[in-house]
């Protein structure tokens, strides 16, 4: 089987570093501090048009680096006329996102990427006291990240002024729609100036979403990273309940099946990836890890070997695997289930491309059951469970788990 790996280094255009995207020094410094070497595909596509003040419609999900794709250029545009520490600020950019978790994550990202600029950031969401949010607003904010409900409350109380917004971001538009926030979003947009730059991201592009896009965006640049939502239907998915300590043995057991020609195995941590590889090598299964701790040269060699079929199993963390485009890959194995459901869809989308059959196998330990529930909810379907295997889950309920811990 031919495995086509379009690796970052093979494609010169993709290997554009942040510097080549004309990112200014204070932001570059922050990205370097975060160990971001190479822009992700969505960053590469979104940063230039946003810097050119174009409207952008992006099709991408969480886990693709989409936050930096809009945060970095917004910081750059706004930092050119950032206020001095004591000067009065007005909100210049508003990012609307559906959930409190996302709002906090986006706020953290702005704070991280913009740590060497003079800009100030704020986040508001419901379910908590509004006092600290009021205080932050009064002190002055350049970029406001908000969920719609609480923002409307504060707008109605006259505590937020959106009249100076220059750049508006609607994040996770499809989820906004699903959660019934569309009317609130429209009300909020009415409080912003009609002439401004608009950026919208959505994981899916249904006709309803396109309608929203048409009502907000003006001549947008459309960008997208490999659509993965279709993977849910084209990839055969199987689930193995297994205790954490038996995951490695189950992996060896499955890899005895030679029909698994090539497998991309996902672990949650870099350390976990190294451990899996160590065990596989000991069992004479040719495997290699690829993650952020490895040098660029090392990653390149590892990928080339996987492409040639020298390495049968590539073990990766989500971030390391992101820049790699793998086609004609037969199996994806989730050694650990991801805690962000979209990541699961993104992972399984690595197999079954171009109409080929793909198989995704997931291990689920007792602790990971809540992640599984979230994933199945997002997909709107259940994953077929394989019960007939040598390492069935022994710990099933909290009391059994406690009893088991006592025995240790």
- 10 Å Cβ neighbour count for 245? 11
For the bound state, the minimum distance from the C-beta of residue 26 to ligand AMP, rounded and expressed in Å, comes to 17
Cα(375)–Cα(381) distance, integer angstroms:
9
Please, which residues bridge with residue 320 across strands? none
Task: Name which of 367, 364, 407 is nearest 389 in CA terms.
Answer: 364
Report yes or no: 100 and 125 within 8 Å, Cβ to Cβ. yes
For the bound state, the minimum distance from the C-beta of residue 207 to ligand AMP, rounded and expressed in Å, comes to 25
Choices 65-73, 137-145, 210-218, 347-355; region in contact with ligand AMP by CB under 6 A: 65-73
Choices 36-44, 210-218, 246-254, 345-353; region in contact with ligand AMP by CB under 6 A: 36-44
For the bound state, the minimum distance from the C-beta of residue 365 to ligand AMP, rounded and expressed in Å, comes to 23
Task: Name which of 178, 188, 230 is nearest 59 in CA terms.
Answer: 230
Cα(10)–Cα(64) distance, integer angstroms:
20
Cα(14)–Cα(8) distance, integer angstroms:
6
246 touches ligand AMP by CB under 6 A: no
Q: Give the contacts of 144 (CB within 8 A, at least 6 positions apart).
A: 91, 93, 94, 95, 121, 122, 123, 124, 137, 160
Collapse the DSSP code of 69 into the 3-class scheme (helix H, G, I; strand E, B; otherwise coil) and give the result.
helix
Task: Name which of 147, 151, 143 is nearest 121 in CA terms.
Answer: 143
67 touches ligand AMP by CB under 6 A: yes
For the bound state, the minimum distance from the C-beta of residue 332 to ligand AMP, rounded and expressed in Å, comes to 19
- Which position has the token pair 């994550």? 105
Q: DSSP letters along 82-116, please?
A: PPPTTS-----EEEE-SSHHHHHHHHHHHHHHTTT
Cα(264)–Cα(333) distance, integer angstroms:
6
63 touches ligand AMP by CB under 6 A: yes
Binding test (CB under 6 A) with ligand AMP, winner from 7, 26, 36, 231: 36
Binding test (CB under 6 A) with ligand AMP, winner from 8, 68, 154, 177: 68
Binding test (CB under 6 A) with ligand AMP, winner from 30, 66, 165, 331: 66
Choices 58-66, 228-236, 294-302, 376-384; region in contact with ligand AMP by CB under 6 A: 58-66
* Closer by beta carbon to ligand AMP, 247 or else 322: 322
Report yes or no: 142 and 121 within 8 Å, Cβ to Cβ. yes
* Closer by beta carbon to ligand AMP, 173 or else 263: 173
* Closer by beta carbon to ligand AMP, 32 or else 214: 32
Query: Tokens at residue 165, please?
Result: 């917004």
What residues from 317 to 336 belong to the interface with ligand AMP (CB under 6 A)? 319
Cα(327)–Cα(318) distance, integer angstroms:
17
65 touches ligand AMP by CB under 6 A: yes
306 touches ligand AMP by CB under 6 A: no
Choices 66-74, 79-87, 89-97, 269-277; region in contact with ligand AMP by CB under 6 A: 66-74
For the bound state, the minimum distance from the C-beta of residue 63 to ligand AMP, rounded and expressed in Å, comes to 5
For the bound state, the minimum distance from the C-beta of residue 38 to ligand AMP, rounded and expressed in Å, comes to 6
41 touches ligand AMP by CB under 6 A: no
* Closer by beta carbon to ligand AMP, 338 or else 358: 338
Which residues of this protein are in contact with ligand AMP, per CB under 6 A?
36, 38-40, 43, 62-68, 319
């Amino acid at each position: 089987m031919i495995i086509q790996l379009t690796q970052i280094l093979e494609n010169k255009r993709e290997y554009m570093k942040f510097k080549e995207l004309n990112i200014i020094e204070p932001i570059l410094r922050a990205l370097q501090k975060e160990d971001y070497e190479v822009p992700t595909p969505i960053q590469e596509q979104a940063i230039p048009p946003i810097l050119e003040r174009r409207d952008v419609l992006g099709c991408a999900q969480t886990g693709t680096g989409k936050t930096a794709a809009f945060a970095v250029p917004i910081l750059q545009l706004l930092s050119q006329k950032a206020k001095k520490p004591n000067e009065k600020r007005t909100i210049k950019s508003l990012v609307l996102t559906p959930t409190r978790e996302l709002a906090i994550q986006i706020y953290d990202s702005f704070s991280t990427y913009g740590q060497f600029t003079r800009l100030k950031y704020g986040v508001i969401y419901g379910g908590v006291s509004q006092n600290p949010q009021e205080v932050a607003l009064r002190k002055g904010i350049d970029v406001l990240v908000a969920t719609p409900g609480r923002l409307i409350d504060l707008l109605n109380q006259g505590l937020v002024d959106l009249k100076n917004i220059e750049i508006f971001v609607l994040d996770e538009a499809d989820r906004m729609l699903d959660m019934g926030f569309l009317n609130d979003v429209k009300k909020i947009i009415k409080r912003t100036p009609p002439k401004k730059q608009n950026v919208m991201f959505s994981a899916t592009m249904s006709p309803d979403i396109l309608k929203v896009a048409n009502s907000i965006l003006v001549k947008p640049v459309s960008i997208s990273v490999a659509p993965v939502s279709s993977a849910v239907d084209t990839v055969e998915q199987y689930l193995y309940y297994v205790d954490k300590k038996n995951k490695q043995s189950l992996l060896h057991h499955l890899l005895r099946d030679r029909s698994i020609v090539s497998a991309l195995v996902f672990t949650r941590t870099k350390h976990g990836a190294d451990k899996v590889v160590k065990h596989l090598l000991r069992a004479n299964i040719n495997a290699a890890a690829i993650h952020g701790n490895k040098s660029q040269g090392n990653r390149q060699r590892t990928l080339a070997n996987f492409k040639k079929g020298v390495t049968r199993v590539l073990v990766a963390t989500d971030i390391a695997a992101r820049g790699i485009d793998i086609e004609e890959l037969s199996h994806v194995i989730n050694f650990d289930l991801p805690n962000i459901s979209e990541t699961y869809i993104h992972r399984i989308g690595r197999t079954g491309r171009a109409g080929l059959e793909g198989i995704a196998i997931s291990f689920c330990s007792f602790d990971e059951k809540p992640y599984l529930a979230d994933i199945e909810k997002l997909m709107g379907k259940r994953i077929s469970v394989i019960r007939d295997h040598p390492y069935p889950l022994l710990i099933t309920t909290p009391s059994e788990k406690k009893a088991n811990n006592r025995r240790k």
